Amino acid sequence: MPMDSELLARISPSHQHRLAWFEEHQGEVSRFPSEERTGLLLTGKAKGIFKPADLTYALSIRINRGSSYEDGAPIQAPGGGWRLSYYQEGADPSARDRLSGNRGLMNCIADRVPVGVLREIAPINQGSQYEVLGLAQPVTWEAGFFFLESIEPPPTPTANIVSAVLEATARAELDDTEPPVPADDYDARMRAIRQIVARQGQSAFRADVMAAYRGRCAVTGCDVPAALEAAHLLPYRGPESNTVANGLLLRADIHNLLDLQLLAFDPSTRRVVLSKQLAGTHYEALSGTSLATPGEQSQRPSQDALERAWLTFVDGEGPD
């Protein structure tokens, strides 16, 4: 088993045997698997997250075809492994802990206990089939999604699995939807400028943020309008998100780092804090920089937005 001796000492022999099945049968296709030696089920028919009654932990998750939940496909990661986002049981993230499957996966995160992963594939003779992806480690939960990474092979470590999965998924979707070839050079240039304008922000929001920050990046002081973008502290979730108090004027590369959770602002000091991934890079010089703020109190970054963004960043960084 790819688990340390301390963990093996804390989980039951029955649990060990059931996890071993996923390791031994990795890459195979199975109808509805059970552990041959005991006859115990390895997945449940009713729910995608399977927590047996005799265990504190979830034992497996099942990625179903046509599921009403937004389960992601395994995303190949550097190092040869894969990562996965998997939606919790129940639609309401605030009610996560009311359901036993979610509690079981949270226990797996807390004690670093892996789970088996099955993916439903095309049926044969109307019978469901499942590819055994192997064992995965639940790493964290955010906004209704559990994030897991394979144990064998393991991905190259990342400080923030959520950002890694989101970025990889976005790149995969972009690769799958290649835009049509431009009709001419003018069309190609127009498309490039549209992409820049879309990134810079909607006209009214961008104008308001530009005015509040007097046309200067809140971190670097850059005053080149073409290089500046109206960023959201908390992700855009409709027009109500487009308030100056939820915005910052940032140079494009700083905006990217903020969105990728490689940079954040300590809400108690309003100074720049960098991810461990940026140690030793050019950006290290920005660590500790004070966040410039507008003169009007109503336009300054919301304390609530700063604190919520900070908690997400800290969770992604993990323990020191």
Q: What are the pLDDT tens digits along the chain (320 aa)?
A: 455 677 777 889 889 989 999 999 999 887 777 666 667 888 887 788 999 999 999 999 998 876 656 667 888 888 889 999 999 999 898 999 999 999 999 999 999 999 999 998 877 666 678 899 999 999 999 889 999 999 998 998 887 888 888 878 777 766 655 667 666 666 666 666 666 655 555 678 889 999 999 999 999 999 999 899 999 888 766 666 678 999 999 999 999 999 888 999 999 999 999 999 899 999 999 999 999 999 899 999 999 999 989 988 888 786 65
On whether residue 275 sits in a domain, the answer given is: yes
Residues 218 and 312 in one domain: yes
Residue 122 belongs to a domain with what CATH number? 2.30.280
Residues 147 and 12 in one domain: yes
Choose one of 162, 194, 212: the last residue of a domain. Answer: 162
On whether residue 174 sits in a domain, the answer given is: no
On whether residue 65 sits in a domain, the answer given is: yes
Residues 20 and 157 in one domain: yes
Residues 108 and 242 in one domain: no
pLDDT at residue number 77: 87
Residues 22 and 85 in one domain: yes
Choose one of 129, 162, 195: the last residue of a domain. Answer: 162
Distance CA 311, CA 217 (A): 23
Residues 210 and 293 in one domain: yes
Using CA atoms of 233, 235, 237, 241 in order, give the dihedral in degrees to the nearest 10. 10
Residues 207 and 144 in one domain: no
| Among candidate residues 62, 61, 55, the one with its CA nearest the CA of residue 13 | 55
Residue 267, domain extent: 185-317
On whether residue 11 sits in a domain, the answer given is: yes
Residues 218 and 102 in one domain: no
Residues 148 and 230 in one domain: no
Residue 129: beta bridge partners?
Answer: 121
Residues 122 and 214 in one domain: no
Choose one of 105, 130, 162: the last residue of a domain. Answer: 162
pLDDT at residue number 8: 73
* CA terminus-to-terminus distance, the chain: 27
Q: Domain count of the chain? A: 2
Answer positive or negative: Cα dihedral of 143, 239, 199, 291: negative
pLDDT at residue number 1: 46
Residues 158 and 205 in one domain: no
Distance CA 163, CA 110 (A): 20
pTM of the model: 0.68
On whether residue 172 sits in a domain, the answer given is: no
Judging by beta carbons within 10 Å of its beta carbon (0-12, 13-18, 19+), is residue 12 exposed, middle or buried?
A: exposed
Residues 36 and 68 in one domain: yes
On whether residue 213 sits in a domain, the answer given is: yes
On whether residue 168 sits in a domain, the answer given is: no
On whether residue 206 sits in a domain, the answer given is: yes
